[in-house]
Amino acid sequence: MLHDADCLFCKIVQGAIPSEKVYEDEEILAFKDIHPAAPIHLLIIPKKHIPMLELAEPSDVPLLGRMMELAPKLAKEQGCKSGKEGGFKVMVHNGADGGQEVYHLHLHVLGGPRPWKK
């Protein structure tokens, strides 16, 4: 399934719900989280509807790799310092026990000056 009509993130991909985009290409969209848990809080999503990480298929591996490769680039562009003194966190929630609230696979990229420790 490429899109789910009831999915919040699919609606963002289709432009039905606005977002503060920081990156977009044919397969991936990245935007600022509307309820940031850190000074820098981005969401990186595939445009293809993949409900959860555990439901990704072998054919999705290149897409997932590109998402992970994009995370440090976008973190730096948005103001995260690089190296040992800087850094950022990447999180993926999977299922209710994993804290997933929107069932469309997404990476959280969090960074910036602490004390947002979580």
Give the CATH number of the domain where residue 31 resides. 3.30.428.10
For residue 89, which phi and psi values (nearest 5 degrees)? Answer: -120, 140
Does residue 60 lie in a domain region?
yes
Please give the residue range of the domain that contains residue 6: 1-38+47-81
Does residue 16 lie in a domain region?
yes
pLDDT tens sequence for the chain (118 residues): 688 889 999 999 999 999 999 999 999 999 999 999 999 999 999 999 999 999 999 999 999 999 999 999 999 999 999 888 889 999 999 999 999 999 999 999 999 887 666 5
pTM score, whole prediction: 0.93
Residue 31 in tokens: 């935007």
Does residue 92 lie in a domain region?
no
Residue 32 in tokens: 């600022």
How far apart CA 83 and CA 23 sit, in angstroms, is: 23
What pLDDT score was predicted for residue 1?
A: 62
What pLDDT score was predicted for residue 117?
A: 61
Task: Exactly one of 41, 93, 104, 106 is catalytic; name it.
Answer: 106
Does residue 109 lie in a domain region?
no
Kindly tell me the burial class for residue 114, based on how many C-beta atoms sit within 10 Å of its own C-beta (0-12, 13-18, 19 or more): exposed
The helix, strand and coil proportions of the chain, stated in percent and rounded to the nearest 5, come to 25, 20, 50
The SS3 call for residue 75 is helix
Q: How many domains does the chain have?
A: 1
108 as an active site residue: the answer is no
